[in-house]
Amino acid sequence: MRYNQVSWTTIMPAWRRRMLVQQSTFRKKWEESFMRLMAKFPAIIKSKPTNLVVVCFDSGLHYGNEGLIREILGLKQGLYVFLSIGGSVTPMAHPKDTPSRCKGVARQILLACDRYPSITDIAVVMHSDCGFYVTVPKHLHSHEKEKRDLQMAGSHLMEILPGKKIRLFYQEITDDGESVAIYETDCPKIRESIPRRHLFERHRC
């Protein structure tokens, strides 16, 4: 047998062949475990959502968020995009104090609106006793800060998305943490607090 007809594995050291076999076995097992079918669910083909719902990822508000979407907004599956962010839009109320986080939240909202041009309404939700405030400067803490920041962030959203209808909802945890009361508040135009434009520029992802 000529050299060029010899299998490439026969001229390879034994330790190298063993390592390749082990790698191949490991990869096969990994692929089998990774591709294990758990279940199948219906897909929404060519969905055209009309609403974007922005909430805090606090797990205690799950039923409140579901009630808001189903009963108050009257939305069915496929008609909304659900965006869950720690602190919701809190950083957008303080673009000068939390510029990086403010940009991050704004970009997520802009991305959703760009991806789904059918979105016409944006529901923004914040709640009482939000744990996100431990990450912001202490001078931003005040009585009912969540309500104040909800309106401030809403006014900033109106500036960067003038063609969208912005609705603001406040969730208050009541009955010693057993219930969530939902209130709707106005979205004022706060002229003296308009954020610097460059904080909300659209960026490619």
The two structure tokens encoding residue 199: 């904080």
pLDDT at 202: 47
pLDDT tens by residue, 61-106: 999 999 999 999 999 999 999 999 999 999 998 888 888 899 999 9
Average pLDDT over residues 14-30: 80
Alpha-carbon span 152 to 90, nearest angstrom: 9
pLDDT at 65: 94
User: Could you tell me the two tokens for 73?
Assistant: 């907004």
In a domain? residue 41: no
Structural domain span for residue 18: 3-34
Query: Angle, nearest 10°, between helix axes 145-160 and 99-115?
Result: 50
Is residue 89 domain-resident?
A: yes
**In this structure, are 105 and 187 located in the same domain?**
yes
Residues in CB range of 158: below 8 A, 6 or more apart: 166, 187, 189
Q: Structure pTM?
A: 0.75
